[in-house]
Amino acid sequence: MEKLQNFINGAYCRTKSGKYIDNYDPSTGAVYSLIPDSNAEDVEDAVKAAEVAFPIWSSMSNEERSAILVRVAEGIEKRMEELVKAESKDNGKPLKLAAAVDIPRAVSNFHFFATAILHFASESHHMEGVGINYTLRKPIGIVGCISPWNLPLYLFTWKIAPALAAGNCVIAKPSEITPYTAFLLGQIAKDAGMPDGVLNIIHGSGASAGDTIVKHPKIKAISFTGGTKTGAYIAQTAAPMFKKLSLELGGKNPTIIFDDCNFDDMLKTTLRSSFSNQGQICLCGSRLFVQRGIYERFKTAFTEKVEKIKVSYPTDPEAIMGALVSEPHLNKVLSYIDLAQEEGGKVIAGGKRVHLDAPHDNGYYLRPTVIEGLSFDCRTNQEEIFGPVVTLTPFDTEEEVLQMANSTDYGLAAVVWTNDVKRTHRMAEQLEFGIVWVNSWLVRDLRTPFGGVKSSGVGREGGWEALRFFTEPKNVFVSY
């Protein structure tokens, strides 16, 4: 059985713990590799390597660092096919989704921040007749990047690329559920000419490797994407050490459909926004609010299309949905379908686990599920499920839907479907979310601020926001 290794100081090495975690192929339910269950000693080795590398990396010119990061992007591109296969096998997502979204986006993340750093400027504030202030922006030092399993390499590189571009050294931990593409990234960075110790990739559980990274006094900032509970724990741990924190957490996003929308566009996009990546994208809309005038029409058309979605093994070229990421996660999602029914909801599509033919008979497949008849404030409509499950709720007025949409603790992303331009702006202003898409979903411009409000997180990623997070500003005043 293949044993993955940590990537520390420019070399692959075994974990000092001597322990390994099983890595499952969600499409079959079989263990197919082992992941280092890294401990504090491994993290310490990585920190020591990063300490040595930091003066070298941070004193390189932006142009030199940029050239290396562009080569990382090119290295990912060169190994596209291998990375696509690895991502799909590790996560259970359809191969064609990994080929269309995940790995190309990892390339873009490196390209984007490799070039952004060349244009990153700081402010100056002139005080007439008195003097001038200018802001220096220095890299922080050693930073920790911790990422989840749903978009493994996509989100891993979304953090690492700006951290490195800004001149930091990185201790990065991918999810223990989907470690494989992060494991391959070490070699790609090495081949791109990245100095040893600049990027260190530590595998293992959150409770051991992750916690050690968060607690390490020499790791000065943590960029974390994952669940809200984990985020709260990390904030509690890191706050007394005054670490800089960026937390991208859970969501319970509304898709709000007004009866004046372009029905066909809305229907097509709402299928994607509900079930892409098996509903395991933090931006998926899981609460569909439909204006009463088109509620029945929408319900019929939507469920008809949902019934036709092909759930299959990831390498099936016709698969629209693949396997959920793990058995515990599948069970969690199923438990919410039970809860929804206990709360009075009616399953009008899906709701059942799917058993494919061998060798995929033990894979973690679930039919896309649509539920109606629930109150907006029940647990099913308030808690994050993070799977292919959506609820339908009718509404009459803007005021009513705003109250329901804003009623959760979360505030990551919202979608509004309408052709009324004034309503568009009224809604966008009043929705308590970090991101609002109008007549669209998941259109991403990497320059825009990305992140949520309330329990969906603290801080923003993307564009200058990310480069500001990964640098420390210093104001200098020079008197005339």
- Binding status of residue 386 toward ligand NAD by CB under 6 A: yes
Position among 226, 254, 350, 363 found at the interface with ligand NAD (CB under 6 A): 226
**Interface segment toward ligand NAD; rule CB under 6 A; list 8-16, 34-42, 74-82, 249-257:** 249-257
Rank residues 149 and 298 by Cβ distance to ligand NAD and give the closer one: 149
294, 300, 303, 305: CA torsion to nearest 10: -100
- Binding status of residue 249 toward ligand NAD by CB under 6 A: yes
Q: How far is the CB of 434 from ligand NAD (least distance, A)?
A: 9
Residue 116 burial (CB < 10 Å; 0-12/13-18/19+)?
buried
Rank residues 139 and 251 by Cβ distance to ligand NAD and give the closer one: 251
Q: How far is the CB of 437 from ligand NAD (least distance, A)?
A: 15
**Count residues contacting ligand NAD (CB under 6 A)?**
32
- Binding status of residue 219 toward ligand NAD by CB under 6 A: no
Q: How far is the CB of 230 from ligand NAD (least distance, A)?
A: 3
**Interface segment toward ligand NAD; rule CB under 6 A; list 98-106, 173-181, 189-197, 467-475:** 173-181
Position among 162, 206, 350, 351 found at the interface with ligand NAD (CB under 6 A): 206
Other Cβ atoms less than 10 A from the Cβ of 422: the count is: 8
- Binding status of residue 173 toward ligand NAD by CB under 6 A: yes
Q: How far is the CB of 156 from ligand NAD (least distance, A)?
A: 9
- Binding status of residue 214 toward ligand NAD by CB under 6 A: yes
Position among 211, 316, 383, 420 found at the interface with ligand NAD (CB under 6 A): 211
**Interface segment toward ligand NAD; rule CB under 6 A; list 51-59, 206-214, 258-266, 349-357:** 206-214
282 among known catalytic residues: yes
Per-residue interface string for the shown chain with ligand NAD, residues 261-290, x marking contact by CB under 6 A: ---------------------x--------
- Binding status of residue 175 toward ligand NAD by CB under 6 A: yes
307 among known catalytic residues: no
Q: Which residues contact 429 (CB under 8 A, 6 or more apart)?
A: none
Rank residues 195 and 457 by Cβ distance to ligand NAD and give the closer one: 457
- Binding status of residue 233 toward ligand NAD by CB under 6 A: yes
* Angle in degrees, 0-180, between the axes of helices 103-119 and 62-78, rounded to the nearest 10: 170
Residue 300 burial (CB < 10 Å; 0-12/13-18/19+)?
exposed
- Binding status of residue 457 toward ligand NAD by CB under 6 A: yes
- Binding status of residue 251 toward ligand NAD by CB under 6 A: yes
**Interface segment toward ligand NAD; rule CB under 6 A; list 41-49, 93-101, 106-114, 452-460:** 452-460
Residue 82: what are its φ and ψ, rounded to 5°? -65, -40
Q: How far is the CB of 246 from ligand NAD (least distance, A)?
A: 10
Rank residues 75 and 231 by Cβ distance to ligand NAD and give the closer one: 231
- Binding status of residue 150 toward ligand NAD by CB under 6 A: yes
Position among 35, 72, 146, 401 found at the interface with ligand NAD (CB under 6 A): 146
Name the residue number minimizing CB distance to ligand NAD.
Answer: 206
Q: Which residues contact 21 (CB under 8 A, 6 or more apart)?
A: 34, 35, 36, 37, 176, 204, 205
State which of positions 88-127 bind ligand NAD (CB under 6 A).
Answer: none
Which residue among the candidates 145, 169, 261, 282 is catalytic per the annotation?
A: 282
**Interface segment toward ligand NAD; rule CB under 6 A; list 10-18, 65-73, 314-322, 449-457:** 449-457
Q: How far is the CB of 62 from ligand NAD (least distance, A)?
A: 27
Q: Which residues bind ligand NAD (CB under 6 A)?
A: 146-150, 155, 173, 175-176, 205-207, 210-211, 214, 225-227, 230, 233-234, 248-251, 282, 384, 386, 412, 452, 456-457
- Residues assigned a catalytic role: 248, 282
